[in-house]
A = this chain, B = another copy of it.
Amino acid sequence: MKVALIGLGSVGRGVAEMLAKKDDLGLVLTGIADSKSAFMDPDGIDITRVLAKKKKTGSCGDQHLSAADVIKKADYDALVEVTPTNALSGEPAIGHIKAALNRKKHVVTSNKGPIALAGKELRAMAKKKGVSLRYEATVAGAIPVMHTLEHGLAGNEILALYGVLNGTCNFILTRMAAEGLTYEQALMEAREMGYAEADPTYDVQGIDAAIKLVILANTIWDNGVKLADVDRTGIDLLTPDALRLADEMGCTIRLIAEANPKKRLLRVSPRILDKNHPLVFEGTLNALTLETDMAKQITLIGRGAGSVETASAIIGDLLYIRDRYVQRA
């Protein structure tokens, strides 16, 4: 199966490296683009050389070519869209995805913007074109949430879900609880470890978790919820006193995303949880509990971010498309 890759940040690099390393998977890279250049080869790109060029010159390919050229002209079966997330406009990713779907190409993305903002439209478009749009990597990184919903829990009704969907907040709360740090001190530590951005708003005010919650809710219940529908409270106003009080009750505080359509609940907020609760763990992990009619509660825990971890989710989606569509065509 031929693959085109748009975006060469941390996730794109992880995907490219894994495609080069795992050359027995039958996935051949035929197009690649970063923000400044692009490169195509219908016989398969020498990934190691392209990554070396990117490292040396800052560009992966020819500066007269762009992502749009690859999407419109390259010879590929599936597009991997991993440009940076824009949570307000979803662009340029939405445009990229539409252009590929219009060419009847499958699309795999880790990009939360397009799926949260235009998921319904894009899914309908993929269906109409007879191709697959997959986005396992948009929620909880390496944890195979979408595959679990689609196959592992097939036949189950999903009644509710709750989870830790932002590793940065979980790290900050872990450090505040363990060392009695203030929010500002723990945030500084998270920045030093590379877990928090220079502008942490997106993470600490629960926006990132809320976007993932919107993607999950629409995927499961197709209920057309939007980011503005999420009842959202961040962790940036939490004091060490709040964590100390929780600790005295054998509890701690975690930023929990939760949805329950029957209760009209769609919320991201700091919650007091018993220390033995399955969603209480240390560090930057993510976790999700799905409440279902037959399997009851199923909890998945794993890495919510990381270059190779996110590539794992993207490659899982590509292999699913390979087995289901391309190999049989």
Interface residues of A (CB under 8 A from B): 18, 22, 25, 136, 142-144, 147-148, 150-156, 276, 278, 281-282, 292, 294-303, 306, 308-309, 311-313, 315-316, 318-320
Contact = CB atoms under 8 A, between A and B. Distances in A.
A278 B294 CA distance: 24
A92 to B, nearest CB: 27
Contacts of A315: 154-155, 294
A302 B309 contact: no
Nearest to A22: B155
A278 B297 contact: no
A246 to B, nearest CB: 16
Contact of A296 (B142, B297, B313): B142
A298 B142 contact: yes
Given A148-B148, A281-B278, A298 B154 contact: no
The 10 lowest CB-CB distance pairs between A and B, nearest first, are: A144-B152, A294-B312, A142-B295, A147-B152, A295-B312, A155-B315, A299-B301, A154-B319, A298-B302, A147-B151
Given A294-B308, A302-B297, A312-B295, A144 B155 contact: no
A298 B300 contact: yes
A31 to B, nearest CB: 20
Nearest to A155: B315
A142 B295 CA distance: 5
B151 A320 contact: yes
A274 to B, nearest CB: 10
A155 B319 contact: yes
A152 B152 contact: yes
A244 to B, nearest CB: 19
Contacts of A295: 142-144, 302-303, 309, 312-313
B301 A302 contact: no
A301 to B, nearest CB: 4
A55 to B, nearest CB: 21
A292 B306 CA distance: 14
Given A144-B152, A144-B153, A312 B299 contact: no
Contacts of A300: 298-301
Nearest to A289: B301
A47 to B, nearest CB: 16
Contacts of A292: 312
